[in-house]
Amino acid sequence: MAQSPRIGSVSWGAMTVEGLPPGKAETGEAVRLYNELAGSQPVGGLFHSTC
């Protein structure tokens, strides 16, 4: 079952202040996107695991 990630307003705001265009995705897609972007530009990520 897919779930939409929940991002707190403080975390979302911090990304915006740092000039990162915020986005959200489930973990697998987020990791793929992070790796793709990291090859050509500075990126940041906020990853959470409940394991």
3-state secondary structure the chain: CCCCCCCCHHHHHHHHHCCCCCCCCCHHHHHHHHHHHHCCCCCCCCCCCCC
Write out the residue range of the structural domain in which residue 44 sits: 24-51
Residue 38 lies in a domain: yes
pLDDT score at 51: 61
Residue 8 lies in a domain: no
pLDDT score at 40: 93
Residue 1 lies in a domain: no
Considering only residues 33 and 47, tell me which one the structure prediction assigns the higher pLDDT. Answer: 33
Domain count of the fold of the chain: 1
Tens-digit pLDDT profile for residues 8-45: 788 777 777 767 777 778 888 988 999 999 999 888 77
pTM (two decimals): 0.59
Residue 19 lies in a domain: no
Residue 34 lies in a domain: yes
